[in-house]
Structure 1
Amino acid sequence: MTKLNLENQVPLHNKNNLFQGIIFFVYSIVCYLISLATFLYAIGFSSNFLVPKSMDTGGTTSLLQALIIDTLLLSVFAVQHSGMARKGFKKAWTKIIPQAIERSTYVLFSSLALALLFWQWQPLGLKLWDFSGTIVEPILWSLSGLGWLMVFLSTFMINHFELFGLQQGFFNLINKESELIQFQVVGFYKQVRHPIYLGFIIAFWATPVMTLTHLFFASGILGYILVGIFLEEKDLIDLYGNKYGEYKQKVSMLIPKLSK
């Protein structure tokens, strides 16, 4: 009879926990990759560049129908993106979705809401300005590119991997408790409180060809950003208290101060 080495055996519940940890971590990676692909598609979508369906292509509906559809699509994204980020929703949601993959699931749903918008978006036509072929065109494209770069870099100035759920999935895998992110002001956050949102605004508004479609999209996103900032800062004050209140007094919301 073979003697079992009980000291080297892994308890069944530990095996199950390890398997679950691996599944959750793989899930967080998949969600992250989907969000990255969505981010890259958003660049092409808003710039009418290298994607099969962009902001100003396709569409067979009337102007009124297009406005209704586009408004609904923006509303779906706004409600999902802001609603699922609220403290009350998270508290209820994590009774269904494990805490380790809550952020990854939020990122996934945001990507799906954007994918729906890209797929069903209806162009409105009508050019409002067109600087194609002029010296202004490369300037505007450069500004738009800088806006996208600001968005990307700003995520790393806080915690890119926590923001997109990868850190939570990895910590769960290695059985490490997630800690509250300490409030700190670094990089772009020394100039404006919301550089990610500022980057999106620059990226969407700095375009050499402004159509009615693009104006409607950029205006809708701007409106959402302003509402989102209001809700987000209420949560940040609840989380960090006077620290964020003092930061709010010193640093402007979106437009950097020219002098201190």
Structure 2
Amino acid sequence: MISPLPDITREVNILNRIIWFLMNILFGGFISMTMLVWVSCDMEMPNFFFPVLPSSSFIQSIFHVPWIDMKLIFPCKILFNAFLFALFGFVHTFFARNDVQQYLITRLSFPPLALRTFYLISTNITAWLLMGLWQHTSIQLWDFLKNYTFQDEYRGRHLILLIIFTLINLPGMCVVIQFDSLEFFGFKQIYQSTSCPIISRTTGMNKLVTDGIFKFCRHPMYLFLLLGCIISPSVSLDKFLFIIYAILYLYIAIPIEEKKLEKIFGQAYIDYKNEVPSIIPKLYNIKKKI
């Protein structure tokens, strides 16, 4: 059973909706997609990315990452980058909590329709800091593209890495489409009527989905994102550490996320969780369910 958030019928005028819409465009999805591009290109911002950015020197400079080299020794770089990822992970999980969202609405008079946008803005600001302050180790674990000659070395190299990452993540993109991409990026909620009930999920279907790719693992998006990072012709130590940080984060975050799903879907989700693996599908289950 879906538990509703507090019933606060606060009118949100069109100007406020337009402001949230613009903030969603600036911070809601673009930066998170940029971070995926950055990671897929071996923790480098591809040079083909900059022509699509506004010509303002400020806009260009903030996407030329890292912003600063702190001249840290190797162990300190590892710890500092772990701190940056922990900050990103904490914000990502903290603002998704139902009790935090209820506090924003009841105590801070936050408009319920903008919860998803606020969540995206918060996580994407920390993603921006993660990219801008990341201290590179300059250690390459493997690079099968180093012997190839490109007309523009970085442009060709980055395009190949991004294409491979995108192809691997196509099933994960289908999951986003299945759950309504406009809702996933917070646009649909902004123009929702204030008379509509606001449920405890800021995004996602109000029914438990266990078919399709969800028959094999409970979090297919995480699976394909990890695969896209690992299955790559070029992997630096920085990218490898990013993967390790992500795995450690998911080990903590998934149980927290699933407690919320258990409250929403009850015994049905508990049964589903007991039957289907979290991220890595079991081979015998795949053969049995195909």
Task: Report the TM-score, using the length of structure 1 for normalisation.
Answer: 0.80
The equivalent of 1:85 in structure 2 is 96
The equivalent of 2:6 in structure 1 is none
Q: Which residues of 2 match residues 150-165 of structure 1 at below 5 A?
A: 150-165=171-186
Greater Rg, structure 1 or structure 2? 1
Partner amino acid, structure 2, of 1:44? V
User: Is 1:211 the counterpart of 2:236 in the alignment?
Assistant: yes
Q: Which residues of 2 match residues 69-80 of structure 1 at below 5 A?
A: 69-80=80-91
Determine the C-alpha separation between the residues in 2 that align with 1:89 and 1:130.
43
| Contact 2:84-2:130 within 8 A present in 1 as well | yes
Q: Which residues of 2 match residues 199-238 of structure 1 at below 5 A?
A: 199-238=224-263
The equivalent of 2:35 in structure 1 is 42
User: Is 1:244 the counterpart of 2:269 in the alignment?
Assistant: yes
Determine the C-alpha separation between the residues in 2 that align with 1:169 and 1:255.
35
**Is the deviation greater in 92-101 or in 118-127?**
92-101
CA deviation string 1:205-224 (max 9, x = no partner) = 22222211111111101211
More helix by share: 1
Task: Report the TM-score, using the length of structure 2 for normalisation.
Answer: 0.72
| Contact 1:32-1:165 within 8 A present in 2 as well | yes
2:197 to 177, 184, 188: 177
Structure 2 unaligned blocks of 5 or more: 1-9, 50-62, 149-156, 201-205
User: Is 1:65 the counterpart of 2:58 in the alignment?
Assistant: no
Determine the C-alpha separation between the residues in 1 that align with 2:88 and 2:142.
27
**Corresponding residue SS for 1:171:** coil
User: How far 1:177 sits from its partner (Å)?
Assistant: 3.2
Determine the C-alpha separation between the residues in 1 that align with 2:210 and 2:105.
29
Determine the C-alpha separation between the residues in 1 that align with 2:23 and 2:140.
37
CA deviation string 1:29-49 (max 9, x = no partner) = 234322321133113311132
CA deviation string 1:149-204 (max 9, x = no partner) = 3333212222333333222211136x433467122334422332101111221122
Determine the C-alpha separation between the residues in 1 that align with 2:147 and 2:218.
34
**Corresponding residue SS for 1:210:** strand
1:26 to 18, 26, 34: 18
The equivalent of 2:188 in structure 1 is 167
The equivalent of 1:10 in structure 2 is none
The equivalent of 2:117 in structure 1 is 104
1:255 to 280, 285, 289: 280
Change (3 A) 1:65 1:92: same
| Contact 2:37-2:162 within 8 A present in 1 as well | no
Q: Report how many residues are paired.
A: 240
User: How far 1:81 sits from its partner (Å)?
Assistant: 0.4
**Corresponding residue SS for 1:258:** helix
CA deviation string 1:54-111 (max 9, x = no partner) = 58x9735222332232122111101100111112212212221221111210111011
Change (3 A) 1:228 1:215: same
**Corresponding residue SS for 1:177:** coil
| Contact 1:107-1:164 within 8 A present in 2 as well | yes
Partner amino acid, structure 1, of 2:126? A
User: How far 1:251 sits from its partner (Å)?
Assistant: 2.4
Q: CA RMSD in A?
A: 2.8
Determine the C-alpha separation between the residues in 1 that align with 2:270 and 2:16.
36
